[in-house]
Structure formats: structure tokens, C-alpha cells
Amino acid sequence: MSQKLESAIAVIGIDIGKNSFHVVGHDERGAIVLRQKWSRGQVEARFANMPPCLVGMEACVGAHHLSRKLNSLGHNARLMPAKYVRPYSKGQKNDFRDAEAIAEAVQRPTMKFVATKTTDQLDLQALHRVRERLVSQRTGIINQIRAFLLERGIAVRQGLRFLRGELPRILATPPDVLSPRMVHIIEDLAGDWRRLDERVEGMSNEIEAFARQDAGCERLMSVPGVGPIISSAMVAAIGAGDVFTKGRDFAAWLGLVPKQISTGDRTILGKISRRGNRYLRVLFVQAAWVVLIKPQSWEPPKSGCTAMCWRSRSPINWPGSPGAFLLMGAPSKRANSPRPSLNPSNCREH
């Protein structure tokens, strides 16, 4: 690459692959001045010899690692969701067209970017994904045991602890109820269950140890219903949350706000949009249910409000709020009613 060409490049779009990278560069006027295919080993060396420029990539596997490398070389690397890049693709799909679309999209002033994750965030995210897989495998084993027992006319009360408590008695039943072969199969499944329990507990302990040492996780755990699992998953997903200007933006990214299908002067709100990080959304929904079902198990904050005042201030209790919409599933008849007023006599400090 000539020195004159390198100095003319202002924006670069990279379509990331496993072994090869397709690169398209624009000059200050937006004209394409670079269109090349680089191997993985050439990327860092070539960018090290280029003047600082704006580099766009889709947020995919390996993008965060490459973004950190390019930022350390003085470039301005930015990551974007793939679905926001797709509208800028023109013509038939190929890798160079994808890189050209990325170079176009990264220059948009209204583009929503993805924050580059640190190595600690990626390690924590890997822990959560492994734990999620283990929990899913454990659920599959439990369901398989229940199905085998139901085929023999044995029904066990719903709940993990009830099946675990009844299993020794069931395995001791006479051969006319459970054949020796089926008893052996269920014993093997129970052994797999125990081993998965140990691995899940080990992962949970490792995540909890990280959460206790992280200042961001400690602040999140002060919120009712949020523990080490949710707080660490949130830190792994968004870090400090600098990409969101307010809490509602985070709720919209997570898919906890109503899906809007408005037209003209009509505002139509449907069910929650369910977009974004499904794993994190599931954790938040479970936490909201726990807080609502057992509010007595959560202490009010130490700011001086009583428990009644704290619950009335919680947005989850406001009729028509996103939290109420999430838990009820549809707008209530009181959706337009005013928010509950706070009685100053219920608070110790104001």
C-alpha cells in the first residue's frame, strides 16, 4: 500500500471473517480508495503503519478483541449491531459489499454503537454462558426422568426439590412397577444430575466471588431482587452503561417496554418487544416476580423511608408503568390513573 494512499484513507469498514478480512476504505469525500482482502495476520501490521482513522466493524465474534487492538494503535474503532448495518448494503451480497456498507454506516451521526468489552467482561460473559448451558442440560435431565416415571404411572409433584426427595423411594419400588433396566437408567440420569449440580454450584460461586469484588456489581446488588448473578450478567453485557443516556433506553434495549405500532395520531402499544439480550431479560423478569410475590423478604433502603413508602415509590407499582405492563401482560383499566401520592407522614426524612 502506497504512502499517498494510506494518508488519503479517512474511514475503513471491515467485514470480519474467520481467516480473512475484507477491507473497504473511504477518503474525506466518501469515495472508495481501498478495496482489499487481508489475512488475519496482516490486519494488525497494516493498521500499525496507517495514520489514525475511523474504523467500523459489526459486533460479532472477535470484534471486541480487534477493536481493543486498533484502539491501542491510535485508531477510532467502533462496533455496530449487524441489523443496523444491513440497510446500507447495496446490490447483491458479498464480503466487499458488506465492508462497504459498514464503512457507510459507521459515519452516520445517529448510529447506535456497541461499547467495546474488556477482557474481564468477556471472561464473565463466558462464565454465564457456560452456566446457562449447564442449567439447560440439568433441566433436560430432570424432564427426561419425569417422562420415564410418567410412562410407568409415577407422578411427582412439580419442583426440583420434590423430585430429588422422592427419587430414592421411587428407585426402591418393586420390579413390577419399575423394571431393573429402567431403575439402572434413572440411576445413571440421577448421577448426571448430581454432577451438573456440582458444576453449576462451582460456576455460581465463581460468579458470586467476582460480583463481591466489583464496585459496579455491588451498587447493582443494592436494588431489591438483584443478586450476584443478575448484577454480574448486567456488567458483562453493558459494562458501566455509558452507551445509555437514561434507564428507559436500557429497558428498551432489553425488550422490557411495550412494542409500539403507532401510525398517524394513534398510539398503539402491544406486548413487550422482547428484543436484546434474552438471558438478561429472563433474569430481570424472575427478579421482578420474586420481589412482588415476597415483598417482605426485601428490606427498604437505608435512606429513611419506611417499607410502605419505598414500595409506593417503586415504579413497578405505578399503574400503566413499564414494570406493571411487564408483569400484567396487558394495560389495565387504570392505565391512565394518576400515580399514587406519597404521604409525607410515611417518611422519616424529606
Read off the pLDDT of residues 76-105 as tens digits, 9 standing for 90 and up.
Answer: 999 999 999 999 988 888 999 999 999 999
Helix (H, G, I), strand (E, B) or coil at 15: strand
- Contact criterion met (CB below 8 Å) for 87 and 109: no
Cα angle: 212, vertex 251, 267; to 5 degrees: 170
Residue 308 CA neighbour count, 13 Å, CB half: 9
pLDDT mean across residues, the chain: 82
Give me the phi and psi of 306, to 5 degrees please: -75, 170
**pLDDT for position 256:** 85
Which residues lie across from 305 on neighbouring strands?
Answer: 347
Give CA–CA dist 69/191, Å, rounded: 45
- The answer to whether 290 touches 278, Cβ cutoff 8 Å, is no
Q: Which of 3-12, 229-238, 272-281 has the lowest mean pLDDT?
A: 3-12
Question: Which residue type is seen at 27?
Answer: D
Residue 8 half-sphere exposure, CB side, CA atoms within 13 Å?
15
- Count CB-CB contacts under 10 A for residue 274: 11
Return the DSSP state at 339: P
Domains of the chain listed by start with CATH number: 3-105 (3.30.420.40), 119-220 (no CATH), 244-346 (no CATH)
Residue range 3-28: average pLDDT? 85
Render pLDDT for 239-278 as a digit per residue (tens, 0 to 9): 888 888 888 888 888 888 888 888 888 888 888 888 888 8
Q: How confident is the model at residue 190 (pLDDT cuts 50, 70, 90)?
A: very high
Q: What is the pLDDT of residue 196?
A: 95
> How sure is the predictor about 345, in pLDDT bands with cuts at 50, 70 and 90?
very low
Q: Is the pLDDT of residue 295 over 70?
A: yes
Higher pLDDT, 306 or 239: 239
Question: What is the reported pLDDT for 317?
Answer: 46
* Average pLDDT, integer, range 308-318: 46
Q: In what order do the strands lie in the sheet with 32-39?
A: 32-39, 20-26, 11-15, 54-58, 76-80
Q: What is the pLDDT of residue 276?
A: 80
Residue with the bigger pLDDT between 10 and 323: it is 10
> What is the signed CA dihedral for 233, 315, 224, 240, rounded to 10 degrees?
30
Distances (CA, A) of 42 to 37, 88, 264, 337: 10, 27, 52, 62
The reported pTM is 0.76
Phi, psi for 34 (deg, rounded to 5): -145, 130
Range in 4-13, 199-208, 232-241 with the lowest mean pLDDT: 4-13
The whole-number pLDDT of residue 266 equals 86
113: phi then psi, degrees, rounded to nearest 5: -100, 160
pLDDT confidence of residue 140: 95
Band of pLDDT at residue 175, cut at 50, 70 and 90: confident
* pLDDT one-digit tens code per residue, 111-131: 989 889 989 889 999 999 999
Question: Which helix (H) or strand (E) segment is 131 a member of?
Answer: helix 119-151
Q: Which of 160-164, 211-215, 343-347 has the lowest mean pLDDT?
A: 343-347
